Structure 1
Amino acid sequence: MGKIVISTNATLDGVVQDPDGQEGFKLGGWFHQFVGSKDLEDWTAVETEEALSAEALLLGRRSFEWFAARTPHMDIRVSRGWADRMNSLPKYVVSSTLENPGWSNTTVLNGDATKEISELKRKVDGDILVYGSYRLVRTLIEQNLADKLRLVVFPVVLGTGVRLFDETRDKKPMHLIDTHKIGEGLLSCTYEFVSD
């Protein structure tokens, strides 16, 4: 049985919006603004290890399109191992509008998302990694489909912006299973979702 592992970057106040500054959010671009080269080097190593241990990738349409436009053509300065693994992993994208994904090994889930993702969890043996996709992440959490949350916290408070947990219908208890420093300024926290 597969486990859905949400892996995301966020500011200290939980903002996940526009980390690279390409979405037009006035405070976007925080991913590179508040960290040093050692932070990014170590972050890349952690992300590569995470991708290498995953069995599949699950994305919302917007995040899928972002990765699909960049990853197949990523230059050697970025972790080639990470990009190669992303390109080879089976990818599942939740979308009712995407018809031709154009990225290798991609399946579009265009029916009932909860049902199709539940079936995907039964089919995949290992971690199903979710990057970005904060709208999909909220659905996964609300429908009790998420198993783990790996959060990398960046050292900045924005005060505004879309947060990972803007609204939930109920409390979502979690159990902390790991924390460690990445580089000189990033914090990684891994939680398991506690099922009822």
Structure 2
Amino acid sequence: MRNVVLYELMSLDGVAEEPGESGWFTDADERLMDNLDRVIASQDTVLLGRRTYEKWAPHWPSSTMQPFADFINDTPKFLFSAAAPALPWSATTHVPGPAAPYVAGLKRATGGDIGIHGSLTLARSLLRERLVDELRLVVAPTLAGRGARLFEEPGDMQRFELVDSDRSGGCLLLHYRRR
């Protein structure tokens, strides 16, 4: 059984919406990229929601930010959206139907980890369905105040165990696994 791994940058108050655009994500050093490299090294599939896809599809194909640019451009991606994407992006499969049963099927197939990067609506829906096995959170030392939060919807309690923690500047690098 494959693991679904959610990688998310977030503020102390849980905002995970576009950290580069609003300026709340600060105070990281080279260990942040080392951590990202470890996370993506085990992933051979990526799940994306429509909004993240629309922001990333025009950006990443020409980006030189490594190791993520090569990873996200070359890795098979599944876009969960009712509408087909306006902009094509290599190695992308559009899935117009519900995400949960499709992801459950991906988990049963052979392969490496399945990553979710960004894609808050998709991440929340898969957390609600208990399809996320690991949380890889990067918590910045800021209170963003406004913005979409990863854990904003009430739901049933879920338990995770801390696997590892580290620092990158003032950011915490947290790795949790579902109990």
TM-score by length of 1: 0.84
Pairwise CA distance, 1:44: 2.0
Contact 2:45/2:115 (8 A) holds in 1: yes
Q: SS at the partner of 1:177?
A: strand
Runs of 5+ consecutive residues of structure 1 not aligned to the other structure: 22-27
For 2:24, the equivalent position in structure 1 comes to: 30
Tell me, yes or no, if structure 1 residue 123 matches structure 2 residue 109: yes
Pairwise CA distance, 1:124: 4.2
- Taking the TM superposition and a 5 Å limit, the aligned residue runs for 1:113-152 are 113-152=99-138
Pairwise CA distance, 1:42: 2.5
Deviation readout 1:20-41 (Å, 9 max, x if unpaired):
22xxxxxx2212xx32xxx243
- Name the amino acid aligned to 2:13: D
CA distance in 2, matches of 1:170, 1:52: 31
- Name the amino acid aligned to 2:23: G
Runs of 5+ consecutive residues of structure 2 not aligned to the other structure: none
Contact 1:2/1:128 (8 A) holds in 2: yes
Tell me, yes or no, if structure 1 residue 3 matches structure 2 residue 11: no
- Bigger mean CA deviation after superposition, 59-68 or 45-54: 45-54
- For the aligned residue pairs, the C-alpha RMSD in angstroms reads 1.6
- Name the amino acid aligned to 2:33: T
Pairwise CA distance, 1:68: 1.5
Out of 59, 68, 73, the residue aligned to residue 70 of structure 1 is: 59
For 1:111, the equivalent position in structure 2 comes to: 97
Which stretches of structure 1, 4 residues or longer, exceed 6 Å deviation after superposition?
none
Pairwise CA distance, 1:101: 5.1
Counting aligned pairs with the same residue, the percent is 35
Deviation readout 1:55-83 (Å, 9 max, x if unpaired):
111111111222222111013xx22x331
Pairwise CA distance, 1:156: 0.5
CA distance in 2, matches of 1:124, 1:43: 29
Distance 1:125 1:106, change over 3 A: same
CA distance in 1, matches of 2:69, 2:85: 24
Contact 1:52/1:82 (8 A) holds in 2: no
Contact 2:52/2:119 (8 A) holds in 1: yes
Contact 2:24/2:143 (8 A) holds in 1: no
Contact 2:31/2:167 (8 A) holds in 1: no
TM-score by length of 2: 0.92
- Name the amino acid aligned to 2:171: L
Pairwise CA distance, 1:96: 0.7
Pairwise CA distance, 1:13: 1.1
